[in-house]
Amino acid sequence: DARVTQTPRHKVTEMGQEVTMRCQPILGHNTVFWYRQTMMQGLELLAYFRNRAPLDDSGMPKDRFSAEMPDATLATLKIQPSEPRDSAVYFCASGTQYNEQFFGPGTRLTVL
C-alpha cells in the first residue's frame, strides 16, 4: 500500500534556527504539493511541483521559505530563519493531474 512519507513527524526548534522538512511522494506521481495547516488558516497551499519543476510558490514567504525537488523521490521544504508564527502542521501531498491527492502524515513544527 503506497503512502506519502514525511520526516520528521515532530520538530521543536528555537526562533532563528533552520528547519528542513522532507517528503517522499508515491512512486509514479508527478505532482507534489506543500501545505501549511493552522487552526486559523485551514489548508494553505505553499508550493507545488509538476515533474519536479516548481509551478507556483506564490503562497510562500520568499525571504525565509524555499522548496525544492532534488529528485523524483524527494521534496524538501526549508525555513531559514524560523519564527514562532511558522508553528503549524506542514503536509506534503502527491498525485497525478486532475486526480486525488494523497497526503503524508504531516510534520508538526513548533518554533519557540
Interior/surface letters 23-56, b for 16+ CB within 10 angstroms, e for the rest? bbbbeebebbbbbbeeeeeeebebbbbeeeeeee
Q: Which of 50, 78 has the CB closer to other proteins?
A: 50
Q: Which of 57, 68 has the CB closer to other proteins?
A: 57
Q: Which of 50, 81 has the CB closer to other proteins?
A: 50
- Is 100 a binding residue for other proteins by CB under 8 A? The answer is yes
- Is 101 a binding residue for other proteins by CB under 8 A? The answer is yes
Q: Are 111 and 87 in contact (CB under 8 A)?
A: yes
Count of positions on this chain that bind other proteins (CB under 8 A): 21
